[in-house]
Amino acid sequence: MLDSQTRDSILHVRDEAIRRGIHAFFTLHREKSHLLRIGNNSVSLNTSEDLTRLDVEVLAGRRQSAYTLMGDIDGPATVRAALERAVAQTAVAMPKDYEPIEPAVAASIAEQPQYDPALEALDPAAKVETYERIMAALGRSYNYSGSWSSGSLELFLAGTASPATAWHLGTDQHFTCVLKHPDERWELAIQQTGWRADQVAAQPAIAELGALLPVYARPGWRVAPGEYAVAFGPQAIGELLGLAMWTGFMGRGYEEKLGWTAGRQLGERILSEQVTVIDDPADAQTFRFGFDGAGLTRRRFPLIQAGTLAGLAYDLATAARYGRQPTPHAGSWSLVMAPGSGPADVGDAAGGLERVLYIPALHYLNVPNRSQGIFTGSSRFNAVLLENGTATRPIFSTRITDTFAKVFGNIEALSSRPVPVNLSSTYGRRQPEGASVPAYMLCSKVSVTDCADSF
Amino acid sequence: MEIDAVLDSAVAAGMAQTMAAGAQYCDVRCYSEDASENLLLYDGNLEQNAAELESGLGVRVLCGGAWGFAATSRVREAPQAFVRALANARTAAALVGVPLDMGRCPPVSGAYRSPVGRDPLDVPLAEKLDFLRRLDARLAAPFVQHRLIRLQLQRMTNRFWNSEGSRIDRQLTNCFATLMVMGLDQDHRMQRRSHELWTSGRGTRGWEMVLEPALWSGRAEQVTEELGQLLQAPVVEHRRRSVILLPGQGFLQVHETIGHPLELDRILGYELSFAGGSFVTLESFGRLQYGSEKLTVSAFGGIENSPGSFGYDDEGTPERDYLLIDRGLLVNCLSSRAMINEANQRAGRRLFAASGGASRATAFYRAPIDRMTNVNIVPGTDGTLDQIVAATEDGLILDCPTSWSIGSNREHFHFGCEIAWEVRDGQIARVLRNPTYQGHTLEFYRSLSAVGDASTWRVQQVPNCGKGEPNQIMEIGHGVPVLRFDDVLTGERS
């Protein structure tokens, strides 16, 4: 539980605000982060950050503002000073032409659904040992890189609109290891994710990387521009899904015809009927949050149901402006793409097919045309040619430029095995985000537009 | 939070204890203030009215050839940060292939302040909002569906100390601004046209820069007019032709396919697990013909008005002015002290004479990494934009990125832009929409056939360059003239 001094300071100033007729919302964000970075078979950086942030939002009629303080949140005076700053900003703000919705903690909650003290206190020496085991097993003639982020996040929300408070404590980690050939221009990678210390281990990494080494010893294949059967792996599916959501399922983009779902109606079929995507904060493969950043209670929220448009995410401002109900999507989502009925493993799914490009991860995805849902990105790490289901050769860095509607519309097979992927970034504050996706998604007629000379 | 004599003493004591405990090197950055204001006016509504203040301290320790780092937002816990950073370095030292070495540098004492006429964070909020409201009114037109104006104002005050006796005070100020209009085209797809606050490289970078019509707000009517043209325009066809990049697009081309591939930590393989590698190797320097002879690229930290100018980098190296590419030949890189030493050691010779002064951190709670400063293309001798257009048979003029995607080794790229003007037989023929182009870096720069003169050169500001683990955002600048490349693949297959 949050230390009583900080909690009491926030609640004390919250109560003062109520007495003064100020509408305010407080969010405390406390992170203990650790990251070990590997480069050139060495630890290149070993960091620890202990950071506390206080966000204060103030609403006065149609005027609004926010103030964030990172520093010593050491008593009511600091919290009060942050509130006064936000109040001053609000006083001179222009009123909006719509009635804003005030953030409010919907129901009191104190949760730690995924908290492992052993991970919070994980000794960096244990991380070093894991990388050393991988290097020892696969050989030190290769060049190893990677990073291992771990830590804890504590959130506390309170506002003047309701007496309820929300508290969350959780741990998360994201482990990557990259194996590069010393002379050839190829790299292999593995990722692991989870919230418990025991969810990252050397042995699965050794097995996965080791299995790919013989394939990558063979000559690479340059993929000529054209249409191909492509099996996307978990990381690629997660990235594509996240980008498809951001460009097509945000209420603002939908209402203002910015996104690729604009003009489509709820209940209308937009993708393959094999595609069901739900934001499910109860899914244990994702990072679970019982409430969002605006204090709304998170719940199972269908976005795509058997290929039909089932839901859109509305933040408070968009909901207020367009007369919709806000949805609990301020902060991390728990995207779950339902597994399919295909074989668990991609090799079995591609067994009857002469040639399939297996692309587990996509590098630097972007959206050249949001309203048409065109994305582009290139293969990276572990990409291979499958011939009759067997990995025969590595493929050079291959650019795919296509639309979400086409790729998620031309699904030939979807794995029956769900796999967790970590979608967190470490820009700014710690905010873990994970998804659960099928182990592969085999699509036909995917457009390859370019190919490089390295992998 | 003040950086006072008490903190000075605490830092001195912490560094002394750390060095006495066996560290090779130690540096400390204390931010008394890392403040920002973000204002977003969207369709006339103030959708973002946010301010932020960060303060704290970061300690970096080199011990046993490995880095340890610790940061805290509770400055009273500074002594613990020294202990943690040293412990982290010792743990890291258990797994070291090539020990890192900072070398020795003489102590540097100095101070730097961004040149500012009027501090943007001292301007009353009401005055800023009044300016934005009046600007917003100028973006309205019957075909404009949405209007967006964004201001990002930053002021960072910090002190740097290192175990060599350096002590540097800095105050950096940035003003970033965007205006944008959006409308539905004939296919009911949203198009946009925007303009970012740019600089000439000369002058001050306070609120006065935001107010200068020639740099930003004066383009409001033109941007709206160009959106109107875009909404009626045909789509760019998929075929090869010349592309003429205005500085509003050229800066990102330079950023992604010259700046990032020339960061020495990428070249040495320290970014492989996230940002990626580089097709450039240590053997490339002095040998690789990166582009045509018209391509000369500098790293110049001293542009007086750019977010890529900062006086001293985050390990105390004064800003530098040097060439990265000289008439097409690759000659140098963007670098920091330890990376230079490692590269020279690996090369078995003195490949690089000194740090490029490009070691930068986004905040007190991130350790410095190799970044860009101002990576610029030196103006050429091919005249003005009109003269370059007049000498172009078949091409597209391109401006403002909508999308960028680059291969992990920076070998290949794909860019989307807001607008294209078709050039036929030396004349601008018409506006085209949905422009994209793609290519391979070396082939592309070797096709550079025209570089505009100084009249076409301007400094584009970049507020959001992402790199590193933990991830870091950095502010940088690019001085770029008009550039023409030949035989480039444009547009998408229908």
Rounded to a whole number of angstroms, the distance from the CA of B263 to the nearest CA of chain A is 15
- Verify that A209 and A347 share a domain, yes or no: no
Contacts of B392 (CB under 8 A, 6+ apart): B242, B244, B423, B426, B450, B484
Secondary element (H or E) of residue A10: helix A4-20
Note whether B469 contacts A454, CB cutoff 8 Å: no
Query: Among residues A150, A182, A216, which one ends one of the domains?
Result: A216
- Verify that A408 and A263 share a domain, yes or no: yes
Identify from A25, A36, A37, A429 which residue to disrupt to test chain B contact, counting B C-beta atoms within 10 A and taking the largest count: A37
Q: Which residues of B touch A128 (CB under 8 A)?
A: 91-92, 94-95
What was the pLDDT predicted at A71?
Answer: 87
- Verify that A151 and A239 share a domain, yes or no: no
A127-136: average pLDDT: 97
Q: Which residues of B touch A172 (CB under 8 A)?
A: none
CA distance B207 to B200: 15
- Verify that B153 and B256 share a domain, yes or no: no
Asked if the interface predicted TM-score (ipTM) of this complex is over 0.90, the answer is yes
- Verify that A277 and A151 share a domain, yes or no: no
Smallest CA-to-CA distance from B279 within A189, A282, A396, A98 is with A396
Alpha helices for B73-156 (secondary structure H): 78-92, 125-137
CA distance B149 to B197: 11
| The residue to which tokens 């690019």 are assigned | B478
Q: What percent of chain B has pLDDT over 90?
A: 97
Q: Which residues of A touch B52 (CB under 8 A)?
A: 67-70
- Verify that B196 and B274 share a domain, yes or no: no
- Is a pLDDT exceeding 70 seen at residue A13? yes
Query: Among residues B202, B231, B260, which one ends one of the domains?
Result: B231
Contacts of B430 (CB under 8 A, 6+ apart): B233, B234, B421, B422
pLDDT for B26-44, tens place per residue? 999 999 999 999 999 999 9
- Verify that B302 and B445 share a domain, yes or no: yes
Smallest CA-to-CA distance from B339 within B362, B368, B301, B375 is with B368
Among candidates B46, B69, B440 on the partner chain, residue whose Cβ is nearest the Cβ of A47 = B69
pLDDT for A391-422, tens place per residue? 999 999 999 999 999 999 999 999 999 999 99
Among candidates B68, B406, B472 on the partner chain, residue whose Cβ is nearest the Cβ of A46 = B68
For residue B490, what is the nearest residue in chain A, using CA coordinates?
A: A449
CA distance B415 to B394: 19
- Verify that A187 and A80 share a domain, yes or no: yes
Note whether B407 contacts A364, CB cutoff 8 Å: yes
- Verify that A96 and A237 share a domain, yes or no: no
Predicted structure pTM score: 0.96
Do residues B81 and B50 lie in contact, with contact meaning Cβ atoms separated by under 8 Å?
no
What was the pLDDT predicted at A1?
Answer: 67
- Verify that A189 and A249 share a domain, yes or no: no
Give all strands (DSSP E) within A97-233, no chain letters. 109-114, 143-159, 162-180, 187-194, 226-232
pLDDT for B201-228, tens place per residue? 999 999 999 999 999 999 999 999 999 9
A349-354: average pLDDT: 95
- Verify that A235 and A176 share a domain, yes or no: no
For residue B71, what is the nearest residue in chain A, using CA coordinates?
A: A49
pLDDT for B386-443, tens place per residue? 999 999 999 999 999 999 999 999 999 999 999 999 999 999 999 999 999 999 999 9
- Is a pLDDT exceeding 80 seen at residue B275? yes
CA distance A160 to A388: 62
Instruction: Give the residue numbers spanning the domain of B181.
Output: 5-231
Among candidates A132, A257, A449 on the partner chain, residue whose Cβ is nearest the Cβ of B95 = A132
- Is a pLDDT exceeding 80 seen at residue A78? yes
Q: Which residues of A touch B74 (CB under 8 A)?
A: 50, 52, 71-72, 74
- Is a pLDDT exceeding 80 seen at residue B494? no
CA distance B49 to A96: 12
What was the pLDDT predicted at A448?
Answer: 97
Cα-based angle B398, B399, B401 (whole degrees, multiple of 5): 110
- Verify that A68 and A180 share a domain, yes or no: yes
On average, the pLDDT of chain B sits at 96
Smallest CA-to-CA distance from B422 within B246, B250, B241 is with B241
Q: Which residues of B touch A48 (CB under 8 A)?
A: 69-71, 84-85, 88
Identify from B40, B49, B362 which residue to disrupt to test chain A contact, counting A C-beta atoms within 10 A and taking the largest count: B49
- Verify that A305 and A189 share a domain, yes or no: no
Tell me, yes or no, whether A221 lies in a domain: no
Note whether B493 contacts A447, CB cutoff 8 Å: yes
Residue B454: strand, helix, or coil: helix
Among candidates A36, A39, A363 on the partner chain, residue whose Cβ is nearest the Cβ of B407 = A363
Rounded to a whole number of angstroms, the distance from the CA of B365 to the nearest CA of chain A is 6
What was the pLDDT predicted at B180?
Answer: 98
Rounded to a whole number of angstroms, the distance from the CA of B31 to the nearest CA of chain A is 10
For residue A51, what is the nearest residue in chain B, using CA coordinates?
A: B73
Note whether B94 contacts A43, CB cutoff 8 Å: yes
Handedness of CA A57, A58, A63, A67 (dihedral sign): negative
Smallest CA-to-CA distance from B93 within B22, B14, B187 is with B22
Burial profile B15-30: b = 16 or more Cβ within 10 angstroms, e = fewer: beebbeeebbbbbbbb
What was the pLDDT predicted at A417?
Answer: 98
Instruction: Name the domain count of chain B.
Output: 2
Identify from A5, A44, A397 which residue to disrupt to test chain B contact, counting B C-beta atoms within 10 A and taking the largest count: A44
pLDDT for A99-113, tens place per residue? 999 999 999 999 999
- Verify that B110 and B246 share a domain, yes or no: no
Q: Which tokens in the block code for residue A116?
A: 């492992």
CATH code of the domain covering residue B50: 3.30.2290.10
Q: Which residues of A touch B92 (CB under 8 A)?
A: 36, 42-46, 124, 128
Q: How sure is the predictor about B447, in pLDDT bands with cuts at 50, 70 and 90? A: very high
Note whether B92 contacts A124, CB cutoff 8 Å: yes
Write the single-letter amino acid at A43: V
- Is a pLDDT exceeding 70 seen at residue A434? yes
Among candidates B88, B146, B407 on the partner chain, residue whose Cβ is nearest the Cβ of A124 = B88
- Verify that B9 and B131 share a domain, yes or no: yes
Top pLDDT among A428 and A59 is at: A59
- Is a pLDDT exceeding 80 seen at residue B301? no
Q: How sure is the predictor about A169, in pLDDT bands with cuts at 50, 70 and 90? A: very high
Beta pairing class for B239-245 and B483-490? antiparallel
Query: Among residues A190, A216, A242, which one ends one of the domains?
Result: A216
- Verify that A185 and A127 share a domain, yes or no: yes
Instruction: Name the domain count of chain A.
Output: 2
Q: What are phi and psi of A11, to 5 degrees?
A: -65, -35
- Verify that B309 and B167 share a domain, yes or no: no
Residue B46: strand, helix, or coil: strand
Q: Which residues of A touch B338 (CB under 8 A)?
A: none
Identify from A5, A53, A59, A94 which residue to disrupt to test chain B contact, counting B C-beta atoms within 10 A and taking the largest count: A94
Q: What percent of chain A has pLDDT over 70?
A: 100
Rounded to a whole number of angstroms, the distance from the CA of A313 to the nearest CA of chain B is 17
pLDDT for A267-292, tens place per residue? 999 999 999 999 999 999 999 999 99
Note whether A35 contacts B469, CB cutoff 8 Å: yes
Q: Which tokens in the block code for residue B279?
A: 């097709």
Query: Among residues B203, B231, B259, which one ends one of the domains?
Result: B231
CA dist B369 → A447, B40, B264, B273, B343 (Å): 37, 31, 10, 15, 15
- Is a pLDDT exceeding 70 seen at residue B246? yes
Among candidates B184, B265, B469 on the partner chain, residue whose Cβ is nearest the Cβ of A426 = B469
Q: What are phi and psi of A297, to 5 degrees?
A: -75, 125
Note whether B49 contacts A426, CB cutoff 8 Å: no
Rounded to a whole number of angstroms, the distance from the CA of A19 to the nearest CA of chain B is 24
Instruction: Give the residue numbers spanning the domain of A150.
Output: 4-216
- Is a pLDDT exceeding 80 seen at residue A136? yes
For residue B403, what is the nearest residue in chain A, using CA coordinates?
A: A368
What was the pLDDT predicted at B98?
Answer: 84
Q: Can you state the percent helix, strand and coil of chain A, rounding each to 5?
A: 25, 40, 35
How many CA within 13 A on the CB side of residue B249? 28
Query: Is the peptide bond prior to B470 cis by the omega test (within 30 degrees of 0)?
Result: yes
CA distance B290 to A136: 38
B66-88: average pLDDT: 95
- Verify that B146 and B265 share a domain, yes or no: no
Residue B8: strand, helix, or coil: helix
Rounded to a whole number of angstroms, the distance from the CA of B340 to the nearest CA of chain A is 15
Among candidates A143, A371, A427 on the partner chain, residue whose Cβ is nearest the Cβ of B189 = A371
Burial profile B461-488: b = 16 or more Cβ within 10 angstroms, e = fewer: bbbebebbbbbbbbbbbbbbbbbbbbeb
Query: Among residues B209, B231, B253, which one ends one of the domains?
Result: B231
Q: What are phi and psi of A72, to 5 degrees?
A: -80, 105
Tell me, yes or no, whether A404 lies in a domain: yes
Q: Which residues of A touch B46 (CB under 8 A)?
A: 63-64, 93-94, 96
Say how many CB pairs under 8 Å bridge A and B.
283
- Verify that B320 and B201 share a domain, yes or no: no
- Is a pLDDT exceeding 70 seen at residue A133? yes
Note whether B414 contacts A256, CB cutoff 8 Å: no
Beta pairing class for A384-387 and A356-359? antiparallel
Q: Which tokens in the block code for residue A287?
A: 């990072």
- Verify that B345 and B370 share a domain, yes or no: yes
Note whether A176 contacts B190, CB cutoff 8 Å: no
- Verify that B106 and B27 share a domain, yes or no: yes
Note whether B50 contacts A365, CB cutoff 8 Å: no
- Is a pLDDT exceeding 80 seen at residue A447? yes
- Verify that A261 and A201 share a domain, yes or no: no
- Is a pLDDT exceeding 90 seen at residue B378? yes
- Verify that B141 and B192 share a domain, yes or no: yes
Q: What are phi and psi of B213, to 5 degrees?
A: -60, -35
Rounded to a whole number of angstroms, the distance from the CA of B284 to the nearest CA of chain A is 15
Tell me, yes or no, whether A341 lies in a domain: yes
Write the single-letter amino acid at A187: E
Rounded to a whole number of angstroms, the distance from the CA of A341 to the nearest CA of chain B is 33
Smallest CA-to-CA distance from B361 within B106, B50, B34, B81 is with B34
Smallest CA-to-CA distance from B321 within B349, B295, B347, B358 is with B358
Q: Which residues of B touch A372 (CB under 8 A)?
A: 189
pLDDT for A171-218, tens place per residue? 999 999 999 999 888 999 999 999 999 999 999 999 999 999 999 999
pLDDT for B343-374, tens place per residue? 999 999 999 999 999 999 999 999 999 999 99
- Verify that B260 and B223 share a domain, yes or no: no
Identify from B406, B443, B469 which residue to disrupt to test chain A contact, counting A C-beta atoms within 10 A and taking the largest count: B469
